[in-house]
Amino acid sequence: MSDAGDRRILHCDMDCFYAAVHARDDPSIRGKPVVIGGKPQSRGVVAAASYEARKFGVHSAMPSAQAYRLCPQGVFLKPDFSRYREESQKIFAIYRQITPLVQTVSLDEAYLDVTEHLEPFGTATRVAREIRRRVLEERRLTVSVGVGPSRLVAKIASDYNKPDGLTVVPPERVQDFLDPMPARRLQGVGPATEKSLLALGVESIQDLRGISLEILRGRFGKHGQGLYHYARGIDHRAVQPHRDRKSLGSESTFAQDLREISQMEAEILRLAGKVARGLEGRGLTAQTVTLKARYPDFTTVTRSLSLGTATRDAELLAKTALALLGRTEAGERGVRLLGVTASRLRSGGPIQLPLFPTS
């Protein structure tokens, strides 16, 4: 195996994948603000938004009703996950013709390790160009690619010049590339961590490098050690083509405690939508939903509910999590963290239809 510094990792991220598939197949909506998600009248969430819609402030995981208020002239379309999955499989087939080391993150995102698979192209940069060319010519879609010596750097690079971008960060340029960026660009730096870093005078990754390991450990525990390494571009995580998961979840720690139940419900809609997309991207369904809530005194509670049939329906996951929220003290007490987790995972399997009307 090559040393970490010798690795060549690609992060391939399709540009507005869901919306782009619809726009490719329907010329009448090209160039228009396209919003993929639940009906604006429902409690659904936005699964994806075209760049035109993002100019109005619309973004994924936002409640659909809020997206409509921001962009009433938008084209609102129901997600077609079977269509996205079929397209994703064709795109990932291109990746796997380059290297067998492909780690799926979601339907539109993957890591590729091409360290030992550079031929006949010679360099990782040429491999990335070939992937972008083939995706454009064969699928008529664009993909942004980041190239670096680690997953951390490759992911940041893929987002550096979106859409339809290619950013290459050789090992000797990693620190120069990272230093000017806001610390929030690092994986694991959410709103709460960002607020704590700002209290230490840290805004950029370069600022973060000026904080000792002892201080970071004292402030953030084990996470502080990860921040110390990430600020230096150190990330030894391997690209893992196959992983058996027992659960899949998403959680958020808030810079300020949420006090209003409406705020909590909006956050749960966002988290459930993210979990649903993660299940869809991995070809999984789940039969148990768990809600996690942490109160201001750090007391943490979980509430779980098993469904009759495994599902990856975003609206059903959200409605189940919202029902579980009602079994906590949220609303009577503030919350500093909320999380939604799906477990009892299965590959494929039946998808439970929503139990509630969507209109």
* Nearest C-alpha neighbor of 131 from the set 7, 250, 12: 12
* Nearest C-alpha neighbor of 169 from the set 181, 186, 157: 157
Q: Could you tell me if 74 and 86 lie in one domain? A: no
| Residue ending a domain, choose from 80, 95, 110 | 80
Residues catalogued as catalytic: 109
Q: What CATH number is attached to the domain comprising 22? A: 3.40.1170.60
Q: Is residue 267 part of a domain?
A: yes
Q: Could you tell me if 11 and 110 lie in one domain? A: yes
What average pLDDT does range 127-149 have in this prediction? 97
| Residue ending a domain, choose from 49, 80, 111 | 80
Lowest-confidence segment of 12-21, 57-66, 283-292 by average pLDDT:
57-66
Residue 281, both tokens? 């991207």
Q: Could you tell me if 91 and 221 lie in one domain? A: no
Q: Is residue 132 part of a domain?
A: yes
Domain region containing 139: 4-15+82-175
Q: Is the pTM of this model over 0.85?
A: no
Q: Could you tell me if 69 and 99 lie in one domain? A: no
Lowest-confidence segment of 86-100, 162-176, 202-216, 235-249 by average pLDDT:
235-249
Q: Could you tell me if 279 and 214 lie in one domain? A: no
Q: Could you tell me if 268 and 214 lie in one domain? A: no
Torsions phi, psi for 13 (to 5 deg)? -130, 110
The overall average pLDDT reported for the chain is 90
Q: Could you tell me if 261 and 319 lie in one domain? A: yes
Q: Could you tell me if 161 and 254 lie in one domain? A: no
* Nearest C-alpha neighbor of 340 from the set 310, 307, 303: 303
Q: Could you tell me if 46 and 101 lie in one domain? A: no
Q: Is residue 44 part of a domain?
A: yes
Kindly give, in sequence order, each residue whose CB lies less than 8 Å from that of residue 313, ignoring residues fewer than 6 positions away.
276, 351, 352, 353, 354
CA 235 – CA 237 distance, rounded (Å): 6
Q: Could you tell me if 117 and 153 lie in one domain? A: yes
Q: Could you tell me if 166 and 100 lie in one domain? A: yes
pLDDT of residue 4: 52
pLDDT of residue 72: 94
pLDDT of residue 358: 35
Q: Is residue 112 part of a domain?
A: yes
Place of tokens 């939508």: 273
User: Is residue 354 predicted with pLDDT exceeding 60?
Assistant: no
**Per-residue pLDDT tens over the stretch 86-137:** 999 999 999 999 999 999 988 899 999 999 999 999 999 999 999 999 999 9
Q: Could you tell me if 60 and 197 lie in one domain? A: no
Nearest-5° angle of CA 164, CA 110, CA 32?
40
Cβ–Cβ < 8 Å for 159, 146: yes
User: Is residue 243 predicted with pLDDT exceeding 80?
Assistant: no
Kindly give, in sequence order, each residue whose CB lies less than 8 Å from that of residue 87, ignoring residues fewer than 6 positions away.
17, 21, 139, 141
